[in-house]
């Protein structure tokens, strides 16, 4: 028997879910089977599935930060679902599996690249935000990157310490990516690309103080962007992701796989680009092996020529049309002062779904 298969069977018997998916099992924290951010249950590090020893140590040492780590992955997944909402693969998660994306992300595809980037960005973002909100004793505001104040404003408020969030994300999210194989190299690269996006989008945010909003005194602080801006940026990087090929080298520690750009004519990827080396399935038909759900019954946009349009989304199978009645507020009147009253109207919509 092939050692790889034997390894999988052993891993299964020993209950090590880590080996069974090509992506982190601990992402299941985000769906809150073990944990809810507002709930009262404490996080038990030992009960988080798929942690490697380094992550378990991190969890025990910095337990205060773990709710933000979970929150960050959740934020990343929500943003992924927003960015991919009209596409054939729409970032669906599966509630009753620890491998929350099913087999889809087992392959080294663009989709895998995007999810790794947005999840590691999410962790950096959420940790940074919660530190600035003062929820942890081991981190807080950034006092290093201030510099002299500018024309007409002074430093004030709490500058968000993105370096700290990035450090946490790197330590925790990359802890299992130290294998000498190509997938680990790809995950490390895309995780870092996600975090770099946060640092690149830091900006000054200012507030005016003074009588009735006059800007007599203006204070400014470093702030992270809206997470939507991170999602938009990484979605562009998904569209322009670089295809790579795997190269094997013999080193003193054994065989090591690295990635090289497939097409020498194109610019090689920078640290801000996403990389992948396996092609995606077309996601048209359901396939339990690839994890594709197919696009049957998905709503499509009949006037769009893009990927959310009925032609492309339905993969040429055509679509059904039905009408749907929805109650909406209408004839709203503003009453002095100050409330609005509305009537309820029934509007009829055409809904198109894939055959």
Ligand X SMILES: *[C@@H]1O[C@H](CO)[C@@H](O)[C@H](O)[C@H]1NC(C)=O
Report the residue number, 258 or 301, with the smaller CB distance to ligand X: 301
Measured from the CB of residue 59, what is the shortest distance to ligand X in angstroms? Answer: 32
- Cβ contacts of 186 within 8 Å, gap of 6 or more: 108, 112, 113, 244, 259, 275, 276, 277
Report the residue number, 90 or 120, with the smaller CB distance to ligand X: 90
Q: Check the CA dihedral 68-72-74-75 and report its sign.
A: positive
Strand, helix or coil for residue 54: helix
Strand, helix or coil for residue 252: coil
Report the residue number, 340 or 348, with the smaller CB distance to ligand X: 348
Report the residue number, 182 or 313, with the smaller CB distance to ligand X: 313
Strand duo 254-261 + 242-251: pairing: antiparallel
The footprint of ligand X (CB under 6 A) covers 85, 90, 92, 293, 298, 301, 303-304
Strand, helix or coil for residue 171: helix
C-alpha 244/C-alpha 158 separation (Å) is 41
C-alpha 140/C-alpha 136 separation (Å) is 7
Report the residue number, 90 or 242, with the smaller CB distance to ligand X: 90
Residue among 112, 93, 109, 111 at smallest CA distance from 101: 93
Measured from the CB of residue 303, what is the shortest distance to ligand X in angstroms? Answer: 5
Measured from the CB of residue 305, what is the shortest distance to ligand X in angstroms? Answer: 7
Measured from the CB of residue 232, what is the shortest distance to ligand X in angstroms? Answer: 17
Measured from the CB of residue 127, what is the shortest distance to ligand X in angstroms? Answer: 28
DSSP 335: E
C-alpha 194/C-alpha 188 separation (Å) is 10
Measured from the CB of residue 171, what is the shortest distance to ligand X in angstroms? Answer: 33
Report the residue number, 212 or 303, with the smaller CB distance to ligand X: 303
DSSP 219: E
In degrees and rounded to multiples of 5, residue 163 shows phi and psi of -60, -35
């Amino acid at each position: 028997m092939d050692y790889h298969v034997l390894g999988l069977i052993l891993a299964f018997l020993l209950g090590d879910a880590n080996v069974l998916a090509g992506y982190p099992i601990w992402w299941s924290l985000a769906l809150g089977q073990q944990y809810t951010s507002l709930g009262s249950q404490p996080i038990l590090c030992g009960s988080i599935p798929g942690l490697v020893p380094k992550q378990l140590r991190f969890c025990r040492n910095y337990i205060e930060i773990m709710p933000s780590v979970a929150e960050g992955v959740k934020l990343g997944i929500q943003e992924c679902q927003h960015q991919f909402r009209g596409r054939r693969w729409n970032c669906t998660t599966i509630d009753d599996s620890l491998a929350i994306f099913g087999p889809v992300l087992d392959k080294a595809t663009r989709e895998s690249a995007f999810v790794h980037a947005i999840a590691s960005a999410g962790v950096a973002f959420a940790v940074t935000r919660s530190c600035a909100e003062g929820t942890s004793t081991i981190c807080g505001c950034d006092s290093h990157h201030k510099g002299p104040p500018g024309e007409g404003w002074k430093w004030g408020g709490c500058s968000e310490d993105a370096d700290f969030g990035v450090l946490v994300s790197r330590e925790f999210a990359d802890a299992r990516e130290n294998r000498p194989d190509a997938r680990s190299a790809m995950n490390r690269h895309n995780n870092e690309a996600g975090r770099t996006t946060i640092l690149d989008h830091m900006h000054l945010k200012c507030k005016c103080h003074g009588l009735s909003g006059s800007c007599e005194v203006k204070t400014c602080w470093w702030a992270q962007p809206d997470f939507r801006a991170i999602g938009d940026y990484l979605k562009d990087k998904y569209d322009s992701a670089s295809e790579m090929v795997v190269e094997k080298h013999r080193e003193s520690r054994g065989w090591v796989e690295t990635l090289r750009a497939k097409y020498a004519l194109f610019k090689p990827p920078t640290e801000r680009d996403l990389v992948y080396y396996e092609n995606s399935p077309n996601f048209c038909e359901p396939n339990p092996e690839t994890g594709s759900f197919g696009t049957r019954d998905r709503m499509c946009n009949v006037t769009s020529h893009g990927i959310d349009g009925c032609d492309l989304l339905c993969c040429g199978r055509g679509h059904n049309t039905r009408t749907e009645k929805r109650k909406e507020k209408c004839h709203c009147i503003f009453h002095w002062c100050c409330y609005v009253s509305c009537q309820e109207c029934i509007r009829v919509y055409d809904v198109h779904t894939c055959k």
